[in-house]
């Protein structure tokens, strides 16, 4: 994977990125895809909870909260 890709958990609030790859077990991969996290989707990190977990993101006009470890499995290209 090129070095320009980062885990979604590393993107600061207020920034956007494009989903490139999801690295997780098949059962979790399917759930994330059903939520709209597929390759090519633009996501915006809204905020991290005070203790860093969960992460709130916006995609396709919806808001979604993910556990920080789940956001760490989603590799993105910052915009």
Query: Collapsing DSSP states into helix, strand and coil, what is residue 70?
Result: helix
Domains defined along the chain, listed by start: 6-78 (2.30.30.90)
pLDDT digits (tens, 9 = 90+) for 58-67: 999 999 999 9
**Integer Cα distance of 58 and 64 in angstroms:** 6
**Integer Cα distance of 67 and 54 in angstroms:** 5
What does the chain come to in residues? 79
Q: Supply the DSSP string of 13-64, one letter for each residue.
A: TT-EEEEEEE-S-HHHHHHHHHTT--TT-EEEEEEE-TTS-SEEEEETTEEE
pLDDT digits (tens, 9 = 90+) for 17-42: 999 999 988 888 888 888 889 999 99
Global pTM reads 0.86
């Amino acid at each position: 994977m090129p070095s320009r890709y980062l885990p979604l958990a590393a993107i600061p609030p207020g920034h956007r990125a494009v989903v490139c790859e999801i690295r997780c077990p098949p059962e979790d991969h399917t759930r994330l895809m059903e939520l709209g996290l597929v390759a090519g989707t633009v996501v915006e990190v809204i905020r991290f909870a005070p203790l860093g977990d969960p992460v709130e993101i916006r995609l396709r006009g919806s808001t979604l909260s993910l556990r920080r470890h789940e956001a760490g499995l989603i590799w993105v290209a910052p915009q």
